[in-house]
Amino acid sequence: DAKTTQPTSMDCAEGRAANLPCNHSTISGNEYVYWYRQIHSQGPQYIIHGLKNNETNEMASLIITEDRKSSTLILPHATLRDTAVYYCIVRADQAGTALIFGKGTTLSVSS
């Protein structure tokens, strides 16, 4: 079973920041937080991952709370092309460990 809890759906206006929350209260010390997204009929796309420090790349920012029990993915300026299902996944730092996908959050960006 997935170790994360995410809202089923969220809406965001184009150009605004999209803040997607994720709860992972049972996360272990060696587990990373990953975010992937899946646009309809395509394979999942990696967005970002982190262990305990906040991370930023060209796509998004990842904010992890100090106790690591929750995190937030931030898309700073959402566009219509960001409409997708967003998956928050915790995964151990161990060779061969699978990504266990939950239901994810369906983000709808509208103009």
Partner 1 sequence: KAGVTQTPRYLIKTRGQQVTLSCSPISGHRSVSWYQQTPGQGLQFLFEYFSETQRNKGNFPGRFSGRQFSNSRSEMNVSTLELGDSALYLCASSLQGTTEKLFFGSGTQLSVL
Which of residues 44, 55, 59, 61 is near partner 1 by CB under 8 A?
Answer: 44
Nearer to partner 1, 10 or 92 (CB): 92
Contact status: 97 vs partner 1 (CB under 8 A): yes
Nearest partner of 46 among 36, 58, 59, judged by Cα:
36
Alpha-carbon distance of 47 to 59, in angstroms, equals 7
Contact at 8 Å (CB) between 11 and 105?
Answer: no
Q: Which two tokens stand for residue 11?
A: 């809406």
Which of residues 21, 74, 91, 106 is near partner 1 by CB under 8 A?
Answer: 91
Binding piece for partner 1, criterion CB under 8 A, among 14-22, 58-66, 71-79, 101-109: 101-109
Which stretches of the chain bind partner 1, using CB under 8 A?
Answer: 32, 34, 36, 41-46, 49, 87, 91, 93-104
